[in-house]
A and B are shown apart, each in its own frame.
Chain A
């Protein structure tokens, strides 16, 4: 009996140790990457620390948090973050699915068309923001303004009248190809037999799409949602280049708000408090959404 128990425990420990040692580098690095700045951020968040006022330092207690939490900018920034993430997700997933169906069809030059359609994914966010801001959406000389004028419509000053919508359009343009790429890949793995069986059962194209294709894409959609969420929650460059968070706070998301506080106001204390709040929010989102998505991924 003793022998038996010893075997079992030793066997487990060896396996466990092996797992641990193999994972150690990645886990340790990420822990450091997370914890060191986090600890410093938390430390700063309780300090009076403004780079413009070098003399005024010391313990601030919850002052920074109080200042931030009573700041209406924080709540507006949270709302903006959610709107931005939500809309881009909806647009890219729905659009990506439709485009995937389209590019799944045989047509002349499909390969080249496909490559063109996924190109925006390779363009750096700063460049795409610049291109959209200057050449597409410019109220006087932009292509969209010219199009509107040729149709006899008044030109739109996108970034002052529809600032958030403009950002959503730009970000969606960047991420639509990603959704297309993943969903198209997933669609190619759909079993032809299933589609044929459905056709034998009298399903039309729409029924096939809703009852066969869409359920098959569930996992891929989860992947798209998860990866996009990770990147969209911290969107920065697009806002930085186009609207700088304005007009007012119309396009200031959480990441940008912290940036304003930290780098424009030089208020390290408040910025750090904002960072802590952002980290808490990120974890809440991580717990709820990622878990929801992860369940889908397990199948």
Chain B
């Protein structure tokens, strides 16, 4: 059992407020990912949970105990650093067993625990080596092994995959997910890469400027972003935004005029919307479809062919829009195309950047990775 609660946690360096009152609940065995652009405070928040950074205000509670005043080791957590932070003068075995050594655990027991962890991570053949003699991926695994040996209540990961090459990153991502399942541990993971967040998280916490923008499952964030920032940050390629004008609103949605003059009715709550109000329409590239009858028209300026899919970049109102379309479309740069979208896939944002709530909830919005697992067991 390991839960974490943050109540109005703040952090200031002098007059600079880095974390501005964060509330968060992390449940037992949950995989929570903090994601956000660099400088958003996600690493600082993680380090505050770890105890490496002091807390200016609020409470950090682990398993019903307030830990603000406890040192990093007393909190019973383990952390995997971005740089791995392996002790270069110790062998892999000594690296992994260092915390036990400090805790006064006998050498025999130490060795046994290290071996257990090494087995999980397939590190057994490397135990006598020094970190210098390891590859990036192996170092990463030793760093994780060092955390496992401590048998922590919560694992903390600070951008652990950012120093690996792309192929290895995918592999480690899968390995981490597997590890989470095997250890049944609570994990908090910091990354700036929204793909890592989407693929691994039970719950994503999107941070910006020291403030939590939204907390939710990956599918919820994808289908129901609370505001323009989250909408733009989650999903790849980035969501397209178009300036539109509200025409009317009723129980079935809000009707807006898109560039080019045509009208589209988006099924969102529009009680507060008045005619003539400026709004922003957001549509993900994968939801834009080539359509000769579509309401939008533009000229293709760049084409990226990935094989199975093709990205078309078109210019509209001085903004570059992206369309993810089938790999077999034959368009060329300079072609004039018409395209459209299913209104239920579109999002509307007001002047403050807040999303107008969708009238219907996406069926997968509440799905977590745990549900994925349940489904797969049921299939089997």
Q: Do chains A and B touch in the complex (CB under 8 A)?
A: yes
Interface residues of A, Cβ cutoff 8 Å to B: 1, 3-4, 7-8, 11
- Bound-state CA distance A162–B69 (Å) is 70
In the complex, the chain A residue whose C-beta lies closest to that of B68 is A7
Nearest-Cβ distance from residue B60 to partner chain A, whole angstroms = 11
B56 within 8 A of A: yes
Nearest-Cβ distance from residue A12 to partner chain B, whole angstroms = 8
Q: Besides A3-B57, A7-B54, A11-B54, 14 other CB < 8 A contacts?
A: A1-B57, A4-B10, A4-B56, A4-B57, A4-B58, A7-B55, A7-B56, A7-B57, A7-B68, A7-B69, A8-B12, A8-B54, A8-B56, A8-B57
- Bound-state CA distance A1–B12 (Å) is 14
Nearest-Cβ distance from residue A19 to partner chain B, whole angstroms = 14
User: B277-306, CB under 8 A of A: which get 1 and which 0?
Assistant: 000000000000000000000000000000
In the complex, the chain A residue whose C-beta lies closest to that of B69 is A7
- Bound-state CA distance A11–B57 (Å) is 11
User: B52-81, CB under 8 A of A: which get 1 and which 0?
Assistant: 001111100000000011000000000000
B residues near A1, Cβ cutoff 8 Å: 57
B residues near A11, Cβ cutoff 8 Å: 54
Tell me the residues in window 85-108 of chain B with beta carbons closer than 8 Å to chain A beta carbons: none
- Bound-state CA distance A4–B57 (Å) is 4
Nearest-Cβ distance from residue B74 to partner chain A, whole angstroms = 15
- Bound-state CA distance A69–B1 (Å) is 80
Nearest-Cβ distance from residue A100 to partner chain B, whole angstroms = 28
B residues near A4, Cβ cutoff 8 Å: 10, 56-58
- Bound-state CA distance A182–B32 (Å) is 50
> Count of B residues near A, CB < 8 Å?
9
- Bound-state CA distance A4–B9 (Å) is 10
Which of B10, B57, B69 has the largest count of A CB atoms less than 10 A from its CB? B57
B residues near A8, Cβ cutoff 8 Å: 12, 54, 56-57
Interface majority SS (helix, strand, loop, mixed), chain A: helix
A residues near B68, Cβ cutoff 8 Å: 7
11 example contacts (A-B, Cβ-Cβ < 8 A) are as follows: A1-B57, A4-B56, A7-B54, A7-B55, A7-B57, A7-B69, A8-B12, A8-B54, A8-B56, A8-B57, A11-B54
User: B9-34, CB under 8 A of A: which get 1 and which 0?
Assistant: 01010000000000000000000000
Which of A1, A4, A11 has the largest count of B CB atoms less than 10 A from its CB? A4
- Bound-state CA distance A4–B21 (Å) is 12
- Bound-state CA distance A3–B58 (Å) is 8
- Bound-state CA distance A1–B21 (Å) is 12
- Bound-state CA distance A275–B10 (Å) is 54
In the complex, the chain B residue whose C-beta lies closest to that of A15 is B54
In the complex, the chain B residue whose C-beta lies closest to that of A4 is B57
- Bound-state CA distance A138–B12 (Å) is 70
A residues near B56, Cβ cutoff 8 Å: 4, 7-8
In the complex, the chain A residue whose C-beta lies closest to that of B54 is A11
B residues near A7, Cβ cutoff 8 Å: 54-57, 68-69
- Bound-state CA distance A11–B55 (Å) is 9
Nearest-Cβ distance from residue A15 to partner chain B, whole angstroms = 8
In the complex, the chain B residue whose C-beta lies closest to that of A11 is B54
- Bound-state CA distance A8–B68 (Å) is 11
Nearest-Cβ distance from residue B6 to partner chain A, whole angstroms = 14
In the complex, the chain A residue whose C-beta lies closest to that of B11 is A8
- Bound-state CA distance A11–B13 (Å) is 12
- Bound-state CA distance A3–B12 (Å) is 15
- Bound-state CA distance A7–B57 (Å) is 7
A residues near B55, Cβ cutoff 8 Å: 7
Closest 10 CB pairs of A and B: A4-B57, A11-B54, A8-B56, A7-B68, A4-B56, A7-B55, A7-B57, A7-B56, A4-B58, A4-B10
- Bound-state CA distance A60–B350 (Å) is 85
Nearest-Cβ distance from residue B142 to partner chain A, whole angstroms = 28
Nearest-Cβ distance from residue B53 to partner chain A, whole angstroms = 10
- Bound-state CA distance A4–B55 (Å) is 9
A residues near B54, Cβ cutoff 8 Å: 7-8, 11
- Bound-state CA distance A1–B57 (Å) is 8
- Bound-state CA distance A8–B56 (Å) is 5
- Bound-state CA distance A3–B66 (Å) is 13
In the complex, the chain B residue whose C-beta lies closest to that of A8 is B56
Nearest-Cβ distance from residue B137 to partner chain A, whole angstroms = 25
A residues near B58, Cβ cutoff 8 Å: 4
Nearest-Cβ distance from residue A13 to partner chain B, whole angstroms = 11
Nearest-Cβ distance from residue B218 to partner chain A, whole angstroms = 34
A residues near B57, Cβ cutoff 8 Å: 1, 3-4, 7-8
- Bound-state CA distance A215–B4 (Å) is 51
B residues near A3, Cβ cutoff 8 Å: 57
In the complex, the chain A residue whose C-beta lies closest to that of B56 is A8
- Bound-state CA distance A200–B56 (Å) is 52
- Bound-state CA distance A106–B68 (Å) is 58
Nearest-Cβ distance from residue B49 to partner chain A, whole angstroms = 15
In the complex, the chain A residue whose C-beta lies closest to that of B59 is A3
- Bound-state CA distance A11–B51 (Å) is 12
- Bound-state CA distance A1–B55 (Å) is 13
- Bound-state CA distance A8–B55 (Å) is 7
Which of A1, A7, A11 has the largest count of B CB atoms less than 10 A from its CB? A7
Which of B12, B54, B58 has the largest count of A CB atoms less than 10 A from its CB? B54
Nearest-Cβ distance from residue B210 to partner chain A, whole angstroms = 16
In the complex, the chain B residue whose C-beta lies closest to that of A3 is B57
- Bound-state CA distance A4–B69 (Å) is 12
User: B157-171, CB under 8 A of A: which get 1 and which 0?
Assistant: 000000000000000
Nearest-Cβ distance from residue A43 to partner chain B, whole angstroms = 43
- Bound-state CA distance A7–B48 (Å) is 13
Nearest-Cβ distance from residue A72 to partner chain B, whole angstroms = 54
- Bound-state CA distance A50–B185 (Å) is 81
- Bound-state CA distance A8–B10 (Å) is 11
A residues near B10, Cβ cutoff 8 Å: 4
In the complex, the chain B residue whose C-beta lies closest to that of A10 is B69
